[in-house]
A and B are shown apart, each in its own frame.
Chain A
Amino acid sequence: MNELQQFSTLSTIVAGAVIALGTMLPAVAMGRAIASALEALSRQPEAEKTITRTLFIGLAMIESLAIYCLVIALIVLFRNPLLEYFLK
């Protein structure tokens, strides 16, 4: 049972760390993307449509990284495939 306790403590810590890092870094990346898009927009306001569309697609790409981290964290918390070795 001690091992199981250790396992659950570790997976909780890991899930927290995953979601913390996995939102921090994409947030920085998104901020930079938005900043440079705004710069481009102020320089060329007539290209607004293209910039907005490309920005949205880029943001979705970056955001999916955060979502991957969320999915991994949820798997670690709720559906950990390694857990059955302990419960056997």
Chain B
Amino acid sequence: MNGSELGSAVLFHLGPLAITDTVATTWAIMLCLALAAMLLTHPLAPLPARRQTIAEGIVTVIERAIGEVVPAAAVRQVLPLVATLWIFILAANLTGLIPELHSPTRDLSTTAALALLVFASTHWYGIRTKGLRAYLRHYAEPSLILLPFHVISELTRTLALAIRLFGNIMSLEMAALLVLLIAGFLVPVPLLMLHVIEAVVQAYIFGILALIYIAGAIEPIASDRTDADMAAPAPAPPNHKENT
């Protein structure tokens, strides 16, 4: 219980590197997603067939969701990263439902890597759209005293992103296991249904938070608005309506 459930088991060694089951599952998911993407888009036609319609539907839904947060000009820039995050995390979360397999997102290393990716790409998008000087200046707004707070918030939100996904998925798997140990065969099925909902919600949350952080880096005024929204969840910000 204490060894294999919290950590991940080492499957084999590749030279000096130990390959854990997390890495192997991640590779398998990557392979499946790449194959599915190739299969869905292979004959791209102007008049879409059934498979292409599925792919276009997925992309359109994601595009619309992104368009509600960032300005229309930036949607195409942000789309690849956020859509990949959404699809990959959803697939990774749902992998835990397959017997004998564990979600890669149950491992803090995976979620930390994803959070670092979001952290780095936030700055990348910010610097690319606003230029280095203008981007760095928004840390000192509205006054220089707030600079350490901006830096702290950057770090803690990255940490929170990693811990949130890891904690949710790990606790779900562990809860199902504990119920299985205590109650027996087939009893954790309702918990696994909760797992499906939670997997979708957590993937959505991770992607939308990454999107909001990137939107904040692209446009500092929008980030002020969204920070205020997070403090008090009730009022609807008017500036998000412009693209819908």
Contacts and interface: CB of A to CB of B under 8 A. Distances in A.
Q: Do A and B truly interact?
A: yes
B205 A70 contact: no
Given A40-B234, A60-B209, A78 B167 contact: no
A64 B236 contact: no
A9 interface: no
Given A40-B235, A53-B68, A68 B167 contact: yes
Contacts, number: 74
A59 B164 CA distance: 12
Interface in A14-58: 33, 36-37, 39-40, 44, 47, 49-51, 53-58
Given A49-B68, A67-B171, A70-B171, A40 B208 contact: no
Given A49-B244, A79-B2, A71 B167 contact: yes
Interface of A: 33, 36-37, 39-40, 44, 47, 49-51, 53-61, 63-64, 67-68, 70-71, 74, 78-79
Interface of B: 1-2, 6, 68, 160, 163-164, 166-168, 171, 174, 201, 204-205, 208-209, 212, 229-230, 233-237, 240-241, 244
Given A54-B229, A57-B205, A57-B208, A67 B163 contact: yes
B230 A50 contact: no
A72 to B, nearest CB: 10
Contact of B237 (A33, A44, A50): A50
A55 B1 CA distance: 36
B229 A57 contact: yes
5 contacts: A50-B236, A57-B212, A64-B160, A71-B167, A74-B174
What are the 4 closest A-B residue pairs judged by CB atoms, nearest first? A58-B233, A67-B167, A36-B234, A47-B236
B234 A56 contact: no
Contacts of B68: 49-50, 53
Contacts of A70: 167, 171
Contacts of B229: 54, 57-58
Contacts of B201: 56
A67 B166 CA distance: 9
B208 A58 contact: no
A61 B153 CA distance: 13
Given A37-B234, A40-B234, A71-B163, A50 B205 contact: no
A15 to B, nearest CB: 13
A50 B241 CA distance: 8
A4 B100 CA distance: 35
A51 B204 CA distance: 16
A55 B233 contact: yes
B152 to A, nearest CB: 16
Given A33-B234, A59-B233, 13 more contacts: A36-B233, A37-B233, A47-B236, A50-B241, A51-B234, A54-B236, A55-B233, A56-B208, A57-B208, A61-B160, A63-B168, A70-B171, A79-B6
